[in-house]
Structure 1
């Protein structure tokens, strides 16, 4: 009690230990963290994700094609190169990469500032195990899953609440039905996300139709 780092607040009161005070304050902070986001917060998150998708779509289209213009189907299907495996890279895929970058910047600004403990951008998970609901973070690329946006338990991305992927359909058909018969790869992706666990079905976010849960 004679340690100079301790002090008394007033005659007759117990001395205050700074390290005890800091521990109490930390405990209070942890108790105010949201474990999982509540329903109202989930709706807010979904609305902001939709806004980010729309803004990203608009900004990239304006930058690449000019005011009020969007790519037509022929432009969407135009081959612009090949990836490291020799597969075709279309203009739609190239635009999608650009729009993802803008959407992620929007999420960082609008969502991570509100719910910094409960949202992760592009966490990478090991392939789901035989037991549904098991999720493990990994730095291995082979077979791993990397959802765009994951809502989770406070400070714990392995306890998943909901998963969302941004999609930026380019052709007229894909815009009207982003989970149509020609998007089996998207459906398979969402099914794999569901195996990681969560309290809601995994979904996609498009500028045209908003949030769509499969």
Structure 2
């Protein structure tokens, strides 16, 4: 029986689905991580140049300067403000560098909430008590099936720049331990301009 155009199209579509990989292999993950480090360094450099001039960066006094207060009255320091700016530049870089190559395998700032019935975490719109990593690599079009998880961190003061991870990796633990309940996030990583990927 000869194939009709509809049958041929259906077979081609099925082949396309079968060749769409579920997850990234180790070489592809390494490519992604190289881009994340590049983007963190670019963001750090570009924001410092824009805010302070060519070749300049904030000193400790500037990093600790109070620039406002949040809704609860807590101090917002310049280091936090700069960190927010650098995150935005880094995110734009990641979208530019990875958006075409791995569009179905990463999500920026997905929000995970605890399921009352199972106690596990899944994608949610609820803000209360949710976890929001900066970037998640995941199975194709499924951010609930995490492959790798990353947070950007932009140290500001001289001591934090010289030792971004803190004594015995304290900063990494503080920033990444909150993700230990997320299924598949056994190797969360911190991305800093100084050290690149740290686990």
Q: 1:73 aligns with which of 51, 60, 64?
A: 60
Match of 1:164 in 2: 150
TM-score between both structures, scaled by the size of structure 2: 0.91
Q: How far, CA to CA, are the matches of 1:210 and 1:181 in structure 2?
A: 17
TM-score by length of 1: 0.85
* RMSD value, Cα: 2.3
Q: Does 1:178 align with 2:159?
A: no
The alpha-carbon distance between structure 1 residues 203 and 96, as it changes in their structure 2 partners (threshold 3 A), is same
Q: Do 1:193 and 1:202's aligned partners in 2 also have CA atoms closer than 8 Å?
A: yes
Deviation at 1:113, TM superposition (A): 1.4
Q: Is the 8 A contact 1:161 1:197 kept in 2?
A: no
Aligned equivalent of 2:183, options 173, 182, 197: 197
Task: Please report how far the alpha carbon of residue 125 of structure 1 lies from its aligned counterpart in structure 2 after TM superposition.
Answer: 0.4
Match of 1:48 among 35, 45, 50: 35
- For structure 1, the residue ranges without an aligned partner over 5 or more in a row are 1-12
Q: CA deviation at 1:15?
A: 4.6
Q: Deviations over 1:78-128 (max 9, x none)?
A: 000001111100000000000110000001010121111111111100038
Q: Which residue of 2 aligns with 1:14?
A: 2
Residue number in structure 1 paired with 2:79: 92
- Which is helix-richer, 1 or 2? 2
Paired with 1:183 and 1:129, the residues of 2 have a C-alpha distance of 33
Structure 2 gap segments, 5+ residues each: none
Partner of 1:24: 11
TM-superposed deviation, 1:77: 0.4
Question: What's 1:83 paired with?
Answer: 70
Distance 1:128 1:43, change over 3 A: farther
Q: Measured at CA, do residues 111 and 120 of structure 1 come closer, stay the same or move farther in structure 2, by a change above 3 Å? A: same
| Ranges of 4+ aligned residues in structure 1 off by more than 3 Å | 127-132, 181-186
2:110 counterpart SS class: coil
CA distances 1:21-60 after superposition (whole Å, capped 9, x unpaired): 3322221221121212111111111110000000011110
Query: Structure 1: how far apart are the matches of 2:155 and 2:77?
Result: 12
Aligned partners of 1:88 and 1:162: how far apart in 2? 33
Separation in structure 2 between the aligned mates of residue 109 and residue 73 of structure 1, nearest angstrom: 32
Match of 1:59 among 33, 41, 46: 46
Q: Distance in 2 between matches of 1:70 and 1:92?
A: 11
Change (3 A) 1:101 1:199: closer
Quickly say closer, same or farther: Cα 1:79–1:186, change in 2 above 3 A: farther
